[in-house]
Chains A and B, each alone.
Chain A
Amino acid sequence: MATNTRPLSPHLQIYKPQLTSVLSILHRATGVFLTIGALLLAYWLVAAASGPEAFEHAQGIIGSMLGQLLLFLWTLALFYHFCNGIRHLCWDAGYGLDIESVYRSGRHVIWVPVVLTLICWIIAT
């Protein structure tokens, strides 16, 4: 059938990236990334329940360069998913759906997570 070869919409390769679409895909990407973080949170808690040696080992992994880098990225991803998630809940409630508000809230969910992440890491270190 000729119709089967027609391009499907949304056809991502030919779409110009926009703030709205980029933030939307970022919400998914951070969600998947945070799920991996949840698995490590489970490991950390199991280690804490297993005894001092297992906990020391887990703390060692988290304290390493790679562990700290991942933890920083997880903080950033968490705050982004958190802020953008609230943005989504507002939309679900029917607020802020006009184009102007969508772009305004979109700009906010870019800088707020960065500031919150920096505040957390300044307090923690």
Chain B
Amino acid sequence: MSLRTPLARVRGLGSAKEGVAHWWAQRVTAVALVPLTLWFVISLLFMTHADHETLQAWIAQPIVTTLLVAFLFSLFYHAILGMQVVIEDYVHQEGTKFVSLLVMKFLLILLGGSAIIAVLRIAFGG
């Protein structure tokens, strides 16, 4: 085994250069989600007894469509970043970690994508 310290082994290799990007994206989506979540929750409060047509008419308003897409994009992006950290922290076996990350990302992108497409279909009268 090597007697060199872990620090000595990585010194000079440079950073992976993407740690900050993940951290920063998590904060940017968090900041975006502050007003978007408030708007979404307050809107839903007035829609609790709404029927299908009322809900569709609400979603189809241009501003609502835009804000909903922005909300869903930020929400699922934020969820992917957060779940990634949780999996990386608690799943220690490399293979299982890799597969968990892949499945989590596929699932959230697929469902986030379908949520956004659902909003757009209602908006464009699909």
Contact = CB atoms under 8 A, between A and B. Distances in A.
B86 A89 contact: no
Contacts of A108: none
B34 interface: yes
The secondary-structure label for the interface of chain B is helix
A69 interface: no
Contact of A38 (B27, B76, B119): B76
10 contacts: A34-B79, A35-B82, A48-B56, A49-B117, A49-B122, A56-B52, A82-B37, A85-B33, A89-B31, A125-B48
Interface of B: 27, 30-31, 33-34, 37, 41, 45, 48, 52, 55-56, 59, 72, 75-76, 79, 82-83, 86, 107-108, 111-112, 114-115, 117-119, 121-122, 126
Interface of A: 28, 31-32, 34-35, 38-39, 41-43, 45-46, 48-50, 52, 55-56, 75, 78, 82, 85-86, 88-89, 92, 120, 123-125
